[in-house]
Structure 1
Amino acid sequence: MIDTSQQHVPTDPATKARLERAALAALRIVAGFLFACHGVQGLFGAFGGVDGAGAALPALSWPGWWASVICLAGGTLVLAGLFTRPAALLCSGTMAYAYFTVHQPLGLFPLENMGEPAALYSWIFLLVAVTGPGALAVDNLRRRS
């Protein structure tokens, strides 16, 4: 049995707040980067493209091309922590739209309808929109000046 009484858990409010801001920043940066990669995939055919053969989506096609624009722009803004709350809210709404219009008609549960990434992105970006960017964000520099 593991003795957990000797493990250090920060109880100082300032330390806990720093850890929370760092964890939120890590989530924001990783989610923003991965989301932007989806945009690059759809717009430029990178990472195997949308069909696995390097194809990009046709320009101005609805909804895929526009979703890719939002993924690239919104993901980049979230990654940088610039206009984080509105960008994250737009990204969250985009993924909710994708889930309910593309995935949900194929089955009730995300594992059935292949909508798990869309559902997760939607909730992650909603969390970032509500809580803010955390540490290491351009928004923090803008607020100071």
Structure 2
Amino acid sequence: MDAIDIGLAMIRIAVGLTFAAHGFNKFFGGGRIPGTGRWFDSIGMRPGRMQALLAASTEVVAGLLLAAGLLTSFAAAGVVAVMLVAACTVHRDGGFFVNGNGWEYNMILAAMAVGVAITGPGGLSVDHLLGSAPLFDSWWGLVIGLGGGLLAGIGLLLAFYRPTTPALA
């Protein structure tokens, strides 16, 4: 174990648990899945309840996997997919900065997850303990984490994003 292993663990745990917390909030906070589903409908992700369940489940599972360093590249793909959808549906019109409801936060979480997928999860990870870390880092981490996440996010947007358009006068 060295400083890189500790640094990677800190990044994985911070990003993963933050991501999972957002999913748990969709399940158990405020409006729960019904309220989150109505919100998804309002932003054009239809059907809203299904999108709420899919987003919350992906956030919890991908977040916990990333934090543990298990199936790290696939967890990164989940982060990228959800953050791409969020950036395109909720934060696109806010510009870059998060204080204007921009997509800065989405990009940072996705970039950190992909960075960990490329470097590998480090020695303090379940992937390392199982001996599977070298199978999915480096170029495979990039392809799976970034490529898979982009494909999934774009697929979700194409299949389910139906924003309401104002009536023409």
Say whether 1:118 aligns with 2:106: yes
Residues 1-145 of structure 1 mapped to structure 2, 5 A cutoff: 18-45=2-29, 54-58=30-34, 61-104=49-92, 106-111=93-98, 112-143=100-131
Offset at residue 32 of structure 1 (A): 0.8
Report SS of the residue matched to 2:49: coil
Report SS of the residue matched to 2:89: helix
Q: What one-letter code is carried by the residue in structure 2 that aligns with 1:18?
A: D
Report SS of the residue matched to 1:24: helix
Offset at residue 69 of structure 1 (A): 0.9
Q: Provide the C-alpha distance between the structure 1 equivalents of 2:12 and 2:31, rounded to a whole number of angstroms.
A: 28
Normalised TM-score (structure 2): 0.63
Normalised TM-score (structure 1): 0.72
Q: Provide the C-alpha distance between the structure 2 equivalents of 1:119 and 1:25, rounded to a whole number of angstroms.
A: 20
1:11 alignment counterpart:
none
The one-character-per-residue Cα deviations of 1:59-111 (angstroms, maximum 9, x if unpaired) are 7725333111111000011111111111112212221221122210x233233
The structure with more helix, counted as a fraction of residues: 2
Q: Provide the C-alpha distance between the structure 2 equivalents of 1:121 and 1:64, rounded to a whole number of angstroms.
A: 19
Residue identity over aligned pairs, in percent, reads 34
Gaps of 5+ in 1: 1-16, 46-53
Q: Provide the C-alpha distance between the structure 1 equivalents of 2:50 and 2:95, rounded to a whole number of angstroms.
A: 24
Q: Tell me the C-alpha RMSD between the 2 structures.
A: 2.1
Q: What one-letter code is carried by the residue in structure 2 that aligns with 1:103?
A: H
Tell which structure's C-alpha radius of gyration is larger: 1
Conserved in 2, the CA contact under 8 Å of 1:42 and 1:68? yes
Query: Structure 1 residues 127 and 73 mapped into 2: Cα distance closer, same or farther (>3 Å)?
Result: same
Conserved in 2, the CA contact under 8 Å of 1:92 and 1:124? no
Report SS of the residue matched to 1:135: coil
Aligned length: 119
The one-character-per-residue Cα deviations of 1:111-133 (angstroms, maximum 9, x if unpaired) are 32343322221111111121111
Offset at residue 25 of structure 1 (A): 1.2
Q: Provide the C-alpha distance between the structure 2 equivalents of 1:26 and 1:129, rounded to a whole number of angstroms.
A: 14
